[in-house]
Chains A and B, each alone.
Chain A
Amino acid sequence: MTQLHLASVAELGRLLASGEISSVELTRHFLARVEAHRELNAFLDVRPETSLAQAAAADRRRASGESGPLLGIPLAHKDIFVTRDWASTAASRMLEGYMSPFDATVVERLGQAGMVCLGKLNCDEFAMGSSNENSAYGPVRNPWDVKAVPGGSSGGSAAAVAARLCPVATATDTGGSIREPAAFSGVTGIKPTYGRPSRWGMIAFASSLDTAGLMTASAEDAAAVLSAMLGFDPKDSTSVDRPPEDCIRELDRPVAGLRIGVPREFFGKGLTPEAESAVRAALDTYRGLGAEIVDISLPTASLGIPVYYVVAPAEASSNLSRFDGVRYGHRAKNHGDLADMIKRSRAEGLGAEPKRRILIGAYVLSHGYYDAYYLQAQKVRRLIGEEFQRAFQQCDVIAGPVTTGEAFDIGAKTADPVAMYLEDLFTIPGSLAGLPGMSVPCGFGPRGRPLGLQLMANHFQEARLLGVAHQFQKVTDWHRRTPAGVAATNP
């Protein structure tokens, strides 16, 4: 039998269905791995008794005749999703020890499908960052090289799946926070169409961009879980009202005849030769499978970063105004009147990056600057969205690099916020347009750290996207490679 942590979600499902293993045994296996890899700092809150109780409940459901592809399968949640049974902190001091009165819709849906939660995953504070160095609880380490960042903001999700501490992790993407860490950590990441997964119970960063998604070892695993995760939620005012969807249905569809658009702007200066050759090799693989490679142009996409750094901070400054030290969260010990208490509580509870973004946002929304910044950014955002729609008349999916190169060292970019912001050059345009996007492992850089292929499709084409990724993974083994020691250890 394959080692449990190297098995696919479908394989685990078969083992559970046949009774060869119980969910309690499976959960113990992964909890032991979580415990054995504390050095990665991927988890912020682990409560084994709670996880084992959920696993026992899944086993009882199965014993009473229930079945389902996810019943009894463990996962872990990014600490942006609120949970009743684990602290929900958004990796901020502001929310240290916060116990949510309710579960996020994503948590609830996956729980109803029978998935067992292993705990909460570290991330950049309030999902703001591209390296997971902005966590108030310390950086996450990349399992491929502990000197390297795992990417961010969903760095805990990426590292945990890369080290096979969990078969599935939830994640969130606002400007690239699923795809970039998936690429840096060598796992498969999917950000669905904006509005398809519920935002209810996701600690809000930028509401017109925030999208829940997944990290898994393969597109096939992601498809199984995504089917249970997507769907209309009346509690989320921007949730898209569409019927539930079977995301597995296009996995086996061949890519012969598929038109893959390659934006020439994504291969300009800044892209490292290793990332370029890995992506070009992946495109050759698709060509070999009968896909047609189409040269496309996205000239406005390069304005994505300036647009994003107006829109996202503006929305963040509004969303994070709720942290006032009154109803929940950190309250300063020494303070004067109410206004002073709020100012000092926010100064102490929030980290440098959230503060920076709140200040940018407060400025671009302030009197006299709103039109020049926020409105202008929203208009350029429309240009970017329209540009993608024109591109999708020439092609079915868009492919390119996720990042300019392999993961950088911890500490390499912390002194310069702008250098860090430029990390998301290739992922931000798709986020602004609300498109589904993936990162699929496609090679390694000069220091042996992973590289990712980005795939994007038009709105609501998640099933197609997952199929395109799966066809690549059927003929390549990048996604099966694991960091040193992962395949050898048991647990």
Chain B
Amino acid sequence: MALKLEDVGRIAHLARIHISPEEAARTLEQLNGIFALIEQMQAVDTTGLEPMAHPLGGAQRLREDAVTESVDRDAHLRNAPAHEGGLFLVPRVIE
């Protein structure tokens, strides 16, 4: 199964990555090469097998819901592209 150009646009939107038409065409070719590689595992009979999410098995550990440390606001804001009054600034969302 090969991807089409419109699939690349849809996937890029799902991934929230802007993609130009020229880039999309180049990406299509590369993705189809990679999916040709991936197809090799499609034929394997996996009936009755449990998916492996953690190589050592076991359920995700839960932690106590306890106050442990507080966030240093300045240290976090230092890396923000835009901030004001202790808040992250983004383009207006609600008119």
Which residues of B29-76 are within 8 A (CB) of A? Answer: 30-31, 33-42, 44, 46, 49-56, 60-61, 63, 71-72, 75-76
The 8 Å CB contact of A195, one of B34, B49, B56, is B56
Q: Is the CB of B17 within 8 A of A358?
A: yes
Q: Is the CB of A433 within 8 A of B55?
A: yes
Using A343-B18, A380-B46, A421-B34 as known contacts, say yes or no to A434 and B55 having CB atoms under 8 A apart: yes
Q: Which residue of B lies closest to A363 (CB)?
A: B11
The 8 Å CB contact of A305, one of B37, B46, B54, B90, is B37
A197-239 vs B, CB cutoff 8 Å, 1 = contact: the mask equals 0000000000010000000000000000000000000100111
The 8 Å CB contact of B60, one of A237, A326, A347, A432, is A237
The verdict on A418 contacting chain B, using a C-beta distance below 8 Å, is yes
One of A62-70, A250-258, A329-337, A480-488 contacting the partner: A329-337
How long is the Cα–Cα vector from A328 to B56 in the complex, in angstroms? Answer: 33
Q: Is the CB of A234 within 8 A of B17?
A: no
One of A11-19, A28-36, A368-376, A395-403 contacting the partner: A368-376
Q: Is the CB of A303 within 8 A of B11?
A: no
How long is the Cα–Cα vector from A238 to B52 in the complex, in angstroms? Answer: 14
Interface residues on A, range: 35 or more
**Whole-angstrom distance from the CB of A45 to the nearest CB of chain B?**
15
Q: Is the interface of A mostly helix, strand, loop or mixed?
A: helix
How long is the Cα–Cα vector from A379 to B44 in the complex, in angstroms? Answer: 9
Q: Is the CB of B37 within 8 A of A309?
A: yes
Using A347-B18, A379-B50 as known contacts, say yes or no to A98 and B81 having CB atoms under 8 A apart: no
Interface residues on B, range: 35 or more
The verdict on A346 contacting chain B, using a C-beta distance below 8 Å, is yes
How long is the Cα–Cα vector from A340 to B61 in the complex, in angstroms? Answer: 37
The 8 Å CB contact of A339, one of B16, B50, B79, is B16
Q: Is the interface of B mostly helix, strand, loop or mixed?
A: loop
User: With contacts defined as CB atoms under 8 Å apart, how many contacts are there between chain A and chain B in the complex?
Assistant: 169
Of the candidates B19, B52, B55, the one having the most CB atoms from chain A within 10 angstroms of its own CB is B55
Q: Is the CB of A418 within 8 A of B17?
A: no
Q: Is the CB of B79 within 8 A of A417?
A: no
The verdict on A240 contacting chain B, using a C-beta distance below 8 Å, is yes
The 8 Å CB contact of A306, one of B30, B37, B61, B90, is B37
How long is the Cα–Cα vector from A360 to B40 in the complex, in angstroms? Answer: 16
Q: Is the CB of B55 within 8 A of A331?
A: no
The verdict on A341 contacting chain B, using a C-beta distance below 8 Å, is yes
The 8 Å CB contact of A238, one of B46, B54, B91, is B54
Residues of B within 8 A of A366 (CB): 11, 14
- List the interface of chain A (C-beta within 8 A of B): 98-99, 101, 193-195, 208, 234, 237-241, 300, 303, 305-307, 309-310, 317, 321, 324-331, 335-344, 346-347, 350, 355-356, 358-363, 366, 372-373, 375-383, 385, 416-418, 421, 432-435, 459
Query: Could you jot down 15 A-B contacts, CB within 8 Å?
Result: A239-B61, A241-B61, A305-B37, A337-B91, A337-B93, A338-B90, A338-B93, A339-B16, A362-B14, A363-B31, A376-B46, A378-B52, A380-B41, A381-B52, A434-B56
